[in-house]
Amino acid sequence: MTATALGIIAGFVGWFLVRYILFSFYTLNQNERAVKTVFGRAERMPAATSTEDPFAEYLRPDERDRYNYPQLRIIQPGGPYFKWPWEKIFKVSVATQTVNMALDMEDPRANNGGTVLEAVTKDQLNVGLKGQIRYRISERHLYAYLFGVKRPIVHVMAYFISILRERIANFEAPPSTALGLASQPTDASAVSGVSINDLRKNLRDLNEHMDRESLSSPVRYGIALDASLITEIDAPTEVESAMAAINTAHNQVSSDISLAQASADQKIVQSKRAVEIETLKAQAEVEPLKAQAEQLRALRQSGPGALASYVRNVRLNLFRQAERVIMEVEK
């Protein structure tokens, strides 16, 4: 065998060792998880599917078969691990990420460059929504994320936006809030009956509704929405002036009601204090009479002539103080 042939063989062996042996070792960072495929088939947990997951209860009955994905064997952080040439490793990051809810993954120019998401309210107002979505890849649903759909985050964003727009279009203020506003108005955003004011007043309820409706996203797409935070709802420019007038009138009414309530409360307090003062005066006048009555009762019980003697002494004292006495004489 010639030296050239030996060199070719040695080069091939060296390339094979480097390509398929040395590069077959891999490691995983703390925020990474991995799935291994053997001849294109992912390693699975025996007899385990996504329908057994607690998140599956948020799926509609007709969706359970559609999203019935197998549970995969997850490679945890650490290493080094080894894989054979016919095996392939899919790494994913499970760290929590934040994205603007108006961002369109397929067309960054949409929604005003991914800054404002438009939606229509029940009274046909075209409002702009600003906020963020916090999400992470679900470790228990990597099959749906890696092999279920081509671009899971695109599907999750579209799913979230469709639910949000449907909620905006049908949103009504809770009855308890409307009743509270009638008797105890607060700020300008509390005006009920105007959809955008109702939305601004109930942003927390809107965010909580979106969190509840997104609980099935891990089973669908392998992405869990940790939280949605809608921070701002902008009205159309032509509506702002009308809303400002409404809110100004509401503030004036609220101020008048507050002043009237304060005046009424002050008068009530003054009346209560006047009643207390008169009650104390009456008690002060009655107490000496009660004490004198107790003394007379004690004198009467001490003997038959004691009360007559007491009356005689009192009369003598009065006569001593009087300058002129008129007495009736029997004829």
For the stretch 96-136, pLDDT in tens is 999 898 888 888 888 888 888 888 888 788 888 888 899 99
Structure tokens at 243: 């809303």
Residue 176's pLDDT is 54
Contact yes or no for 299/310 (Cβ under 8 A): yes
Residue 184's pLDDT is 43
CA 163 to CA 215: how far, in whole Å? 12
Look-up of token digits 């029997």: 330
Distances (CA, A) of 146 to 11, 94, 267, 273: 37, 13, 72, 76
CA dihedral 10, 16, 18, 21 (to 10 degrees): -130
- Residue ranges of alpha helices (H) inside 78-148 are 110-114, 142-143
Residue 317's Cβ-side half-sphere holds a number of Cα atoms within 13 Å equal to 6
Contact yes or no for 250/258 (Cβ under 8 A): no
Query: Angle, to 10 degrees, between the axis of helix 237-302 and the axis of helix 306-321?
Result: 110
CA 229 to CA 134: how far, in whole Å? 8
Mean pLDDT of 191-219: 78
pLDDT over 60 (residue 185): no
pLDDT over 90 (residue 329): no
Residue 35's pLDDT is 93
Tell which CATH classification among 2.40.50.140, 3.90.45.10, 3.30.750.24, 3.30.479.30 matches the domain 6-235. Answer: 3.30.479.30
CA 313 to CA 323: how far, in whole Å? 18
> How many CB atoms are located within 10 Å of the residue 26 CB?
14
Contact yes or no for 141/50 (Cβ under 8 A): yes
Mean pLDDT of 283-303: 80
Percentage of the chain modeled with pLDDT above 90: 11
Query: Angle, to 10 degrees, between the axis of helix 152-170 and the axis of helix 203-213?
Result: 140
Mean pLDDT of 259-266: 88
pLDDT over 50 (residue 75): yes
